Amino acid sequence: MIARSSSPTIAVVVATRGRAAEVCILLERLAQGHRRPDHVVIVGSSPADWAGTETAVLPVITLASSEPGLPRQRNAGVRHLLENAVAADVIVFFDDDFRPHRDWLDAAAAVFKTHEDVVGLTGAVLRDGAKTAAIDEAEASNVLAAWVRPAGEAAQSVPRLYGCNMAVRAAVFDRARFDERLPLYGWLEDLDFSGQLQGRQVLARHCAGVHLGSKGARVSGRRYGYSQIANPLYLAGKGTCPPLLTARFLAQALVLNALRAFYRHPLFDYRGRLDGNLRAFGDVLRGRLRPERILDL
């Protein structure tokens, strides 16, 4: 537990693939923050994934994961911190295309210092390009510059953390890990990880940022559609996705993809997603549904 009189040491883990430029911009943002991270671990699949980061003014560690995949790469970053006894009371996970406000780490440290019952927090996403067209860097900068820190209590209890920007006490890794059976982008890995945490999880309204939702290095619509069915069912079996939420995920994916498959969307392959949904349901009937199947599609 972090003593109230001290500020927690913070390590940031960034899993990335094919987005070296985005990683460099994230490092610049972190360097400009009111509180800099004590360590940054960048986990890619090859040295090309962190090209340019050698000029960063932050203490950066670069690692190559044996295989690409968000859960696998995040675990590799955590494992490096723990096995090398790198001082970190709090571990923060940022997507490479997340742009934190300069107060993000300072506000997160304050939450963990003040609320001893909080084991994990997620920040306020001011704009989320993952759900719309991608947001460019200039627009993200404008949104962050216009943001006004809200008054009042910073920590509001929530049932789950949002993986693009979240922080947890390092002690949770005594028993929690990201599930490496969720391959590639690991859809719902944050839901599964949140379900493993024992303690209060909060939305920290003073930890603000913008998720660009960069469309580069994305997987195919068919793979994503398969994961929309396979991952909730797999997590339901584990007990980290409640039955009603599982049903909602399945129904929402199938209905929305079916309705939108009739026309070509400039950003999202709904026809491919629907095909992936149907392939997953076919595997349910055959008794061979598993998240890793997307690697064969």
pLDDT digits (tens, 9 = 90+) for 132-183: 889 999 999 999 999 999 988 889 999 999 999 999 999 999 999 999 999 9
- Residues 184 and 223: beta-carbon distance below 8 Å: yes
Return the pLDDT at 65.
Answer: 79
Q: For residue range 58-71, what is the model confidence (pLDDT) as tens digits?
A: 999 999 877 889 99
3-state SS class at 240: coil
pTM: 0.94
- Residues 55 and 29: beta-carbon distance below 8 Å: no
Domains in the chain: ranges and CATH: 10-211 (3.90.550.10), 221-296 (no CATH)
Mean pLDDT of the chain: 93
Rounded CA-CA distance 62/99 in Å is: 20
Q: What is the DSSP letter of 136?
A: P
Rounded CA-CA distance 104/12 in Å is: 12
If pLDDT is split at 50, 70 and 90, which confidence band does 113 have?
A: very high
Rounded CA-CA distance 204/82 in Å is: 26
Q: For residue range 207-223, what is the model confidence (pLDDT) as tens digits?
A: 999 999 987 656 789 99
3-state SS class at 169: strand
Rounded CA-CA distance 10/64 in Å is: 21
- Residues 188 and 231: beta-carbon distance below 8 Å: yes
Q: Which one, of 121, 95, 94, lies nearest residue 107 by Cα?
A: 121
Q: What are phi and psi for residue 72, nearest 5 degrees? A: -60, -45
Q: Is the pLDDT of residue 267 over 90?
A: no
